[in-house]
Structure 1
Amino acid sequence: MTALPQPFDLTGKLAVVTGARRGIGLAIAEALAAAGADIVAVSANLEASGSEVDKRVTALGRRCTALRADFAERAAVAELADTLLSLDRPVDILVNNAGTIARAPAADHTDEDWDQVLAVNLTSQFTLTREVGRHMLDRRQGKVIFTASLLSFQGGINVPGYTAAKSGIAGLTRALANEWAGRGVNVNALVPGYVATDNTRALREDDERYTAILDRIPAGRWARPEDLGGAAVFLASAASDYVHGALLPVDGGWLGR
């Protein structure tokens, strides 16, 4: 009897996940490993061994390689790209998840905060994708996944740099998909809703804002990082081979409200 295809199986694939030390990146790395992928975990302060992502990935029987990179520094991103392209196997899946946020009213938002947020959340992601993507194009196969945001669609409050960067990610996702879809490379983005991570701690500690946000989420709760795992596996797998330039909300229904 002929075996049925397994479109969500990532066995034999190598996935790079940036911002993998904690939060959404950690959850995505674990989900991809559970689907069969080996993981290259990247973060600015990732331990060389014994990290939480290393423990979770290896517990699933997959390999985990730890790399450090400061995504605010162009030279560090270029060095990371060189390291990835010198590995003993090609990168099949690139998850651009590294990010930072600076909260301040626009009138008080400093140039330094603006520059850092744009560098980490947008510029570095284009640079890394360009370098890794070039080799995916040569092989005519690959999956690129960005982490966008609800603020790719909305303005937010007191986060002008973050909103600008995440709006840029939405545009970059579509622009790369337009160029690369016909050359075997899928480029898409996850759109997380309000997720309980360190980046949203300030909101969750503000009772008024927390309640206002929760009251608007049809699912009736904030997301957990692991809620992003299944959608990431979908976009990384053969199940999404005809999906290009999509921004996939995982938001508890927020955008449909």
Structure 2
Amino acid sequence: MFNLNGKKAIITGGAQGLGFSMVEAFHNAGVEVAIIDISDEMFNISNKLIANEAKVHVVKGDLLDIESLRQSFKEALEKLGGTVNILINSAGLIERKPAFEVSLDSWDRTLALNVTAVFELSRLAGMEMKKQGSGKIINMGSILSVLGGFNAVAYSTSKGAILQLTKSLSNEWAADGIQVNAIAPGYMLTTMNTDLMNDPVRGPQVEARIPAKRWGTPEDVAGVALFLAASASDYVTGTLIPVDGGVLGR
């Protein structure tokens, strides 16, 4: 039910943060992983992952460029021997500024990476998964998929879109044996949130809002991703699973 040994996954944004935590967790579970990232840091990942003989491949690609994205997916698929069982769309952008200060270029970049790239990668993976009659697509949403953002208008808009994209793709592909779900991380201990954690006003406000009384860790998210990738979740699709220490339950 929870055995992932021998499965093959493509994970975007796997060089650091939540993405790396999932790469590590899936590697430890015996999954062959292909990472797509623009950061050179991913070339050091194989040195960190020595838990077992599961292979880790790296593909450098710019997901903001559709042709680069398509080529990166093709290369990742080839490295996995032409099969992908799991796609995790983890790459993302955030810019914390008041709405009046957000440039349209920044708005376009955020939606291009957080939504358009997810849509195209999901279609590319979905076509492969449909051929084999099974597959798992896991999108990275956010508690801002549901809550209104503060000084994060493009990011919260994009994560709201991810929730609807997840539902729509699930409606179309569930009959093909493809489960499409999203994870909604809360306030996580990652570099993306360093400025928020260090904010003398907002930092304490955020922590006071979390019923669990702690920020989340990348490992908290990786555990849910493993469940969504396993056969144990074969009848779970089109949903958003919060990993937020209880924030959305308040």
User: TM bucket by the smaller chain?
Assistant: over 0.9
Q: 1:61, CA displacement in angstroms?
A: 2.7
Q: 1:187, CA displacement in angstroms?
A: 0.3
8 Å Cα contact 1:58/1:64 also seen in 2: no
1:43-192 matched pairs, under 5 angstroms: 43-47=37-41, 49=43, 51=44, 53-87=45-79, 88-192=81-185
8 Å Cα contact 2:64/2:113 also seen in 1: yes
Q: 1:12, CA displacement in angstroms?
A: 0.9
CA deviation vs aligned residue, 1:85-116 (integer Å, no higher than 9, x gap): 43423011000000011121111110110011
5+ residue gaps, structure 2: none
The 1:210–1:60 alpha-carbon spacing in structure 2 relative to 1, beyond 3 Å, is farther
1:30 is matched with which residue: 24, 32, 37? 24
8 Å Cα contact 2:133/2:177 also seen in 1: yes
2:187 is matched with which residue: 194, 199, 209? 194
Q: For 2:49 and 2:186, how far apart are their aligned partners in 1?
A: 25
Q: For 1:167 and 1:14, how far apart are their aligned partners in 2?
A: 28
1:17 is matched with which residue: 7, 11, 21? 11
Amino acid at match of 2:233: S
Q: For 2:13 and 2:179, how far apart are their aligned partners in 1?
A: 21
Q: 1:48, CA displacement in angstroms?
A: 6.5
The farther-off stretch of 135-144 and 59-68 is 59-68
CA deviation vs aligned residue, 1:26-58 (integer Å, no higher than 9, x gap): 001111122221111121113564x1x323433
Query: Residue 3 of structure 1 aligns with which residue?
Result: none
8 Å Cα contact 1:28/1:229 also seen in 2: yes
5+ residue gaps, structure 1: 1-6
Q: 1:76, CA displacement in angstroms?
A: 1.1
The farther-off stretch of 244-253 and 53-62 is 53-62
8 Å Cα contact 1:57/1:63 also seen in 2: no
Q: 1:82, CA displacement in angstroms?
A: 2.2
| Match status 1:222 vs 2:215 | yes
Q: For 1:10 and 1:101, how far apart are their aligned partners in 2?
A: 32
Amino acid at match of 2:74: D
Q: For 1:64 and 1:85, how far apart are their aligned partners in 2?
A: 13
With structure 2 as the length reference, what TM-score do the two structures score?
Answer: 0.96
With structure 1 as the length reference, what TM-score do the two structures score?
Answer: 0.93
8 Å Cα contact 1:8/1:35 also seen in 2: no
Aligned pair count reads 249
Q: For 2:71 and 2:207, how far apart are their aligned partners in 1?
A: 41
8 Å Cα contact 2:59/2:75 also seen in 1: no
Identity fraction in percent: 39
